[in-house]
Amino acid sequence: MAKILLEMKDITKTFPGVKALDNVNFKVEEGEIHALVGENGAGKSTLMNVLSGIYPYGTYEGDIIYNGNVCKFNNIKDSEKLGIVIIHQELALVPEMTIGENMYLGNECGHKFAIDWNTTYSEADKYLKMVGLSESSKTQVKDIGTGKQQLVEIAKALAKNAKLLILDEPTSSLNEEDSRALLDLMLGFKKQGMTMIIISHKLNEVAYVADTITVVRDGATIETIDNRGDEPVSEERIIKGMVGREMTNRFPKREGVEIGSTMLEVSHWTVHHPLYPERKVVDDVSMYVRKGEVVGIYGLMGAGRTELAMSIFGQTYGTHITGDMKINGQTVKIKKGADDAIKHKIAYVTEDRKGNGLVLSQSIKVNTSLAHLDAISNHMVIDGDKEYAVAEEYRRKLKTKTPTVEQLVGNLSGGNQQKVLLAKWMFAEPDIMLLDEPTRGIDVGAKYEIYCIINDLAAAGKSVVMISSELPEVLGMSDRIYIMNEGKFVGEMKAEDATQENIMALILQSGRGA
């Protein structure tokens, strides 16, 4: 019988008015990959924050037993001394610093008055090699992509002599290719004896990589599933534990929606990089979207999807933008900046809801009205009652789980934050909705609710462009799909003609290749 490396017994954690964890029990065997799954707000990250000392001993009830010893961690340094290292969903890297500097930040070689830079960079290079990165540790973090930054975080954990590695949504910002490479790296570490806990909403990845799956719901452990059989556990089986019911259809049907005339059309659209103007990030792209239509854009990381959407939305990305844009058949020239795009009834729901989409320190009420303050103001003075009424209307309409719209957005789960972000732009009354990764980092139940909102937008005659790194999502939600690679559209398909295989074949044939 395998040794139990970690046992968390009867863990209870309470925040003001909320019991986040209720007598949770959780065991991890030495040398396994153990997945922790559940809906947003189920308590997964809270449990890992208790384990890592972010919530110190005394702020929760219950016991942490690691390697046979009861642990009382007062901070994250205490857990790291024992080799428990957590990698959070939001990468903790400083873009302007080198990879080596980031890896040993707070854990410097030498001492704080005389850092040994030769050792720092030589040791960093050693760990980078272990995770499959060929970049020099003297490279600045801002000069490498998101997938490689995720590997730097893992190398940083290895440099802390990690024995139990906790990965919170490690693939949420990665495309399928980079995600699979990271999962295979985890399997390689397991063969070397490392123990890992992974939190993920991508259930196909959980089924692929995990030996054991623990389901958490409403702050309590529901069940632990053994995934070491000949056939991996099905996603449907995991979903049933997460939401407490069968989900027979992951994508709601969109019925009775009439697709009308062309609302948005861009022709020969070219966008240059803002720092390297000789480089085209969007290259001679032409596309259109009609009223009541959901158009998907799929491509690998770095294909130019976000850059395309942001350049359409008031040139909020890029320089030397050329090409023609028509809205409702009329040629328009939108001035640089979001204000003019909003006036032309275009909304852009960013992929980075925490960094660029929402003000986390403000309430749901304030965030809901941000893009359309004119509608709740009188002579530039905000009418608080109107603002409250609008936020409450969208809370009910989108079924946002919160006791009050005065709640701070930063205290909401990812799925509910996404609903607030959608409410913000729906209140602006756009005709064209550009949705960039609208379900990133949210659970399967919340995803279904977001899909229903998208269908409602289409039914109301809105034109929806949906960018997603999840190919099943693009296939399940789109009427038409544009395939993008290296700044160009390399194909267009009706949803009924599209498959994962023929979409990926188009990308590979267009030059990315092996």
The pLDDT value given to residue 248: 65
Q: Please, what's the b/e burial string for 264-301 (b: 16 or more CB within 10 A of its CB; e: otherwise)? A: bbbeebbbbbeeeeeebbbbebebbbbbbbbbbbbbbb
CB neighbours (10 Å) of residue 74? Answer: 11
Residue 12: beta bridge partners?
61
First to last CA, the chain: 42
pLDDT band at 326 (very low <50, low <70, confident <90, very high): very high
More confident residue, 413 or 308: 308
**Whether residue 92 has pLDDT greater than 60:** yes
Distance CA 405, CA 218 (A): 21
Q: Is the dihedral of CA 344, 349, 353, 356 positive or negative?
A: negative
pLDDT surpasses 70 at 171: yes
Contact yes or no for 480/259 (Cβ under 8 A): no
Q: Is the pLDDT of residue 204 over 50?
A: yes
Cα distances (angstroms) measured from residue 364 to each of 392, 411, 422: 9, 10, 12
Residue 513 — pLDDT band, cuts 50, 70, 90? very low
Helix (H, G, I), strand (E, B) or coil at 259: coil
CB 428 within 8 A of CB 349: no
pLDDT at 415 over 50: yes
- pLDDT tens by residue, 356-408: 899 999 999 999 999 999 899 988 899 999 999 999 999 998 888 888 999 99
Task: For residue 512, give the DSSP letter.
Answer: I
Classify 18 as helix, strand or coil. strand
pLDDT at position 514, please?
33
Per-residue pLDDT tens for 248-305? 678 888 877 889 999 999 999 999 998 888 889 999 999 999 999 999 999 877 789 9
Does pTM top 0.75 for this prediction? no
**What pLDDT does residue 201 have?**
83
Whether 499 and 325 have beta carbons less than 8 Å apart is answered as no
How confident is the prediction for the chain on average, in pLDDT? 89
> Residues near 439 by Cβ (< 8 Å), separated by ≥ 6?
418, 446, 447, 450, 451, 468, 470, 473
pLDDT score, position 413: 80
Q: In what order do the strands lie in the sheet with 330-332?
A: 280-290, 262-272, 319-327, 330-332
Q: State how far the Cα of 195 lies from the Cα of 7, in Å rounded to an integer.
A: 13
Q: Are 443 and 261 in contact (CB under 8 A)?
A: no
Q: In the prediction, which pLDDT does 1 show?
A: 63
Q: Which residue has the tokens 């930040």?
A: 105
CA 511/CA 358 separation, integer angstroms: 37
The whole-number pLDDT of residue 310 equals: 94
pLDDT over 70, % of the chain: 98
Q: How far apart are CA 2 and CA 25, in angstroms?
A: 18
- Grade residue 59 by pLDDT with cuts at 50, 70 and 90: very high
Tokens of 337: 């900046």
Q: What is the pLDDT of residues 190-201, one digit of tens each?
A: 999 999 999 988
Mean pLDDT for 478-493 is 94
Of the two residues 89 and 336, the one the predictor is more confident about is 336
d(CA 454, CA 188): 39
Nearest Cα neighbor of 154 from 77, 66, 85, 82 is 85
The string of DSSP codes covering 276-317 is -TTSEEEEEEEEEEETT-EEEEEE-TTSSHHHHHHHHTTT-S
In the chain, the domains with their CATH numbers are 4-243 (3.40.50.300), 249-345+431-514 (3.40.50.300), 354-429 (no CATH)
pLDDT at position 254:
85
Say how many C-beta atoms besides its own lie within 10 A of residue 117's C-beta. Answer: 16
Confidence of residue 512 (pLDDT cuts 50, 70, 90): very low
Predicted confidence at residue 112, as pLDDT, reads 63
Give the position of tokens 């009382």.
72
Helix, strand or coil for residue 419? Answer: helix
Higher-confidence residue of 133 and 433: namely 433
Q: Is the dihedral of CA 220, 196, 472, 453 positive or negative?
A: positive
- Decide which of 213 and 2 is more confident: 213
Among the listed ranges 244-248, 348-352, 368-372, which one has the minimum average pLDDT value? 244-248
The model's confidence at residue 511, banded by pLDDT at 50, 70 and 90, is low
Q: Is the CB of residue 213 less than 8 Å from the CB of residue 27?
A: no
Q: Look up residue 319 and give its two tokens.
A: 């320089």
In contact, 48 and 86? CB cutoff 8 Å: yes
Report the alpha-carbon distance of residue 178 to residue 180 in Å, rounded.
6
Question: In angstroms, rounded to a whole number, what is the distance separating the alpha carbons of residues 384 and 202?
Answer: 40
119: enclosing H helix or E strand: helix 117-130
Contact 66, 6 (CB under 8 A): yes
Measure the CA–CA gap between 205 and 201, rounded to whole angstroms: 9
Please give the sequence-ordered ranges of beta strands (E in DSSP) within 100-242, or none if there are none: 110-111, 114-115, 164-168, 195-199, 212-217, 220-226
